[in-house]
Amino acid sequence: MIWSIGTGTLRTQKEAEKVEAQSRNRLIAHLGSRKAAVRIGIASDHGGFVLKCEMAASLESAGYEVVDFGAHQLNPEDDYPDYIIPLARAVAAGQLERGVALCGSGVGASIAANKIPGVRAGLIHDVFSAHQGVEDDDMNVFCLGGQVVGTALALELIETFLSAHFSGAPRHRRRLAKVQALETILPRGFLETLRQRAQNP
């Protein structure tokens, strides 16, 4: 049987399982280089539910402290903002080192997460972006599609994301400052007020 693990290369089930095992081992090795447990948040709607469960289990087995913001059961009618927004707020508040957000494509998750000031979420489906997004853009929330990538590639991407560090280069700080300035244009709480009015017309 031939399996695709999301890299554009078709592989046998045995090869896919080998790649998945290698990714898990790299996660364990990365955690072993840290002095303290790393606190990671994870959230998804129904579209990313199965992959979220697999990723959370792999992260926990590698020794990460995983905070699961839901969904806690598969519900085809649930809404991604209900899980992604609390995760994003926890990252912005410094309660988590980084966050992982999933939906079917990853697009909705990234849109929702980026509404929270202090969050820099990226939709990631390739290894280069998984580390470059952290090194250049200080990405702190990793978004991906549960219906787009398989477990093996997802674990490779999350390992790459978690092992990357912001370079702190002056040009990157300058660019981030311009983005962060946008977060102060609107009065604090303005967007929340709009949301409340939309819910209670």
What confidence tens digit (pLDDT) does each residue in 126-157 have? 999 999 999 999 999 999 999 999 999 999 99
Here the tokens at position 69 are: 């913001």
Distance of CA 39 to the CA centre of its chain: 13
Q: Dihedral of CA 145/146/148/149: which sign?
A: positive
Q: Give the C-alpha separation, 56 to 84, whole Å.
A: 15
83 band by pLDDT with thresholds 50, 70 and 90: very high
Looking at per-residue confidence, does 28 or 69 come out higher?
A: 69
Q: Which of 47-51, 121-125, 143-147, 178-182 has the lowest mean pLDDT?
A: 178-182
3 band by pLDDT with thresholds 50, 70 and 90: very low
What confidence tens digit (pLDDT) does each residue in 178-199 have? 988 888 766 666 666 767 777 7
Query: What's the mean pLDDT when you consider all of the chain?
Result: 86
pLDDT at 35 over 50: no
- 153: nearest Cα among 12, 59, 33, 22: 22
Strand order, beta sheet including 121-123: 65-68, 39-44, 98-103, 141-145, 121-123
What residues act catalytically? 103
All structural domains of the chain, each given as residue ranges with its CATH number in brackets, are 12-168 (3.40.1400.10)
Separation in Å, CA 72 to CA 105, 142, 157: 19, 20, 23
200 band by pLDDT with thresholds 50, 70 and 90: confident
Q: Give the C-alpha separation, 109 to 114, whole Å.
A: 9
Kindly report the CA angle at 114 between 156 and 190, in degrees rounded to 5? Answer: 165
Helices (H), 36-150: 49-61, 81-92, 107-113, 127-137
> Contact 72/114 with Cβ under 8 angstroms?
no
Residue type, 130: A
